[in-house]
Amino acid sequence: MVCTRKILLLGSGFVAAPCVEYLARKPENKITIASRRLENAQALSKKFPGTVAVSCDITDEQAIEDLVAQHDVAISLIPYIYHAKVIKAAVKHKKNVVTTSYVSPAMMEYDQAAKDAGITVMNEIGLDPGIDHLYAVKTIEEVHREGGKLKEFISFCGGLPAPEDSNNPFGYKFSWSARGVLLALKNTAKYLENGKVVEVSGTALMDSAKKLNTGYPGFAFVGYGNRDSTPYDKRYNIPEAETIIRGTIRYDGFCQFVKALVILGFLSEEEEAHLSANAPEITWREVIAKVVGTNETSAEALQAAIIAKCDLDNNDHKAQILDGMRWVGFFSDVAVTRRGSLLDTFCATLEEKMQYGENERDLVFLQHRFEIELKDGTHQTRTSTLLEYGKVGGYSAMATTVGVPCGIATQLVLDGKLTATGVLAPMSSEINEPIIELLEKEGIGMVEKIL
C-alpha cells in the first residue's frame, strides 16, 4: 500500500508550476498550494487536478505554522526573508522543508535545531543556486579523487531572452521585478583572482564586465562578478584555488547602456518633487532636461547634453546607447508614470516595454570553467555548460531550471533518499548524485567537456 504524502507549496509564482507538475505525477502526493491571494493559488491549482488552493498571509506566523503542521514537507517559494519563519514552524512540528534560495544567516540559525528535530531543510536547489552547485561539486570531487588540484574556478550564469527576442537596447526582458534587476546592479562584487581578493564597488561593476569565451561564438556574452564569491573556497572545498569567480551573464551592450543610465542618476531612489504622484504631468523630454541640467528640451540638445555628461564620444557603443534612450522614450513628449524617484519612474516604463511577448522565449546559459593541475603536474581545462530554452506556450527556461530541481529534491526527501538533517545546500555527492540522475532523466543537465 502506497502512503499518502502531504506537500505544502508556499507561493504560486512563475517557477511554481514546473515544480507542481513534477510532484503531481505521483497520485500519492497530495499538494496544497498556498498564496497570499487565493485567486493566484486557485489559478495554479486548476492546472493540476487533485491539488488544493488556500490563502495564507506569509507575515502571519501562526497561519504558516498551522499549515506546516498539517503536511509532511513544506516547499517555500516565498521571498527569502520569510524562509526562517517556515523553518521555525517546521522544527517545532518535525516537518521537512525545501527552498530554492541561498542559505541566509537567519536560516542557518536553525541548523542545530533542525538536526535535533531530525528534519531535512534543503536549500539552494533551483538554478543559481542549484544546478550550478551540482555540477561544480561533481567535477571538483572527480579532480580531487584523481589526485589533481583545482587552480581556477570561473562560473557565469544568466537568464536572458533568446537571441531572436533580445529586441531592445538592454538585450534583456523582465520575468521578475524591474526594480530588483536594476538595484542588483548596485551590489558590490567580491572574488578571488590570482590569489588576491578583488572588490568591485557597485558604481564600477559595469566597467568590470568582460567578453566571455564560452565556445559558443554565436552568443555575444559579457560577464561581471555576482556578489561575494570568496566563501566558495570552503563551500566547494577548493582551498588550493587561486581564482574563484561566480558571475552574471548579459548580452554585449547591456553594461555600457546601464553605465550611462547610472551616470545620469537613473538608479537613484531619492524622491524628486517633480516625479511625485500628485505633481503636474511631465514628459520624458522635460525629465531628461532636469537630469542633464539644461533648459533646452529639443531632442538634439538633450542628446548633446547626454553625450557630454556620459562621455559618449569616446564610447564604441555611442550609437547603440542613444538608440536605446530614444527607444525608451527619453526624447519624446510621452508623459512619464510618476513614481517618486528616477529609479521607480524609469521602472514603470521598462515594465511596460520589456515584458516577454506571447510568442517569445527565454534562455538560460550557465558555464563553469575549471583550470586543473593533474596529479602528474600537467594542465587541463574542463567546462560544464547548460543551455536551456523556454518553450513558446509552455514554461520558461528559468521556471523549468528552478522548479524542476526543487520538485526532484522534494520527492527525494519524501522517498527517504535524501535524509541528511540540518540546514543544507547541495555541496556533497551523497546529496547531489541522486538529484543529477533524476534531473538528467528530465532532459536537464550540463554538458561536460575536456578542452
User: Domain residue spans in the chain?
Assistant: 5-127+397-444
SS3 percent helix, strand, coil of the chain, rounded to 5, is 40, 25, 35
**C-alpha cell read off for 186:** 548596485
Question: What's the mean pLDDT when you consider all of the chain?
Answer: 94
In this predicted structure, the answer to whether residue 186 has a pLDDT above a threshold of 90 is no
Q: Which residue(s) pair with 154 in the sheet?
A: 245, 369
CA distance 305 to 299: 10
Q: What is the DSSP letter of 267?
A: T
Q: How far apart are CA 229 and CA 267, in angstroms?
A: 24
**Residue 382 C-alpha from the chain's centroid:** 24
Q: In Å, how far from its chain's centre is CA 195?
A: 28
CA atoms within a 13 Å half-sphere pointing along the CA-CB vector of 389: 9
What letter would DSSP give residue 214? -
pLDDT of amino acid 184: 83
The highest-level CATH class for domain 5-127+397-444 is alpha beta
Question: Which distant-in-sequence residues (6+ apart) come within 8 Å of 181 by Cβ?
Answer: 172, 174
Query: Tell me, what's the pLDDT at 203?
Result: 77
Euclidean distance between CA atoms 29 and 79, whole angstroms: 25
Residues with catalytic roles: 128
> Has residue 358 got a pLDDT over 70?
yes
416: closest CA among 20, 25, 113, 119?
A: 119
Does pLDDT of 181 surpass 90? no
Does residue 202 have a pLDDT over 80?
no
Q: Which residues contact 145 (CB under 8 A, 6 or more apart)?
A: none
Res 434 pLDDT > 80? yes
Cell of 83: 524562509
| pTM for this entry | 0.92
Please, what's the largest Cα pairwise distance for the chain? 79
Q: 324 to each of 134, 252, 313, how far by Cα in Å?
A: 38, 13, 16
Whole-number pLDDT of residue 176: 67
Determine how many CB atoms are found less than 10 A away from the CB of residue 234.
Answer: 10
CA distance readout (Å), 238 to 136, 351, 371, 376, 433? 11, 41, 12, 19, 19
Do you find a cis peptide bond into 217, omega within 30 degrees of 0? no
Least confident of 1-5, 35-39, 87-91, 230-234: 1-5
Please state the separation of Cα 403 from the chain's center in Å: 12
Distance CA 411, CA 23 (A): 7
State how far the Cα of 289 lies from the Cα of 298, in Å rounded to an integer. Answer: 9
Cα gap 95→93, rounded to integer Å: 6
What is the rounded distance in angstroms from the CA atom of residue 442 to the CA atom of residue 343?
40
Give the separation between CA 235 and CA 242, rounded to whole angstroms: 15
Residue 385: pLDDT band (50, 70, 90) is: very high
**Tens-digit pLDDT profile for residues 75-106:** 999 888 999 999 999 999 999 999 999 999 99
Task: Say whether 97 sits in a helix, a strand or coil.
Answer: strand
Return the DSSP state at 336: P
pLDDT tens figures, 120-129: 999 999 998 9
Q: What is the DSSP string of 231-300?
A: THHHHTT-TT-SEEEEEEEEETTHHHHHHHHHHHTTT---B-GGGSTTSPP-BHHHHHHHHHT-S--SHH
Which pLDDT belongs to residue 352? 87
Using the predicted structure, report yes or no on whether residue 315 has a pLDDT greater than 90. Answer: no
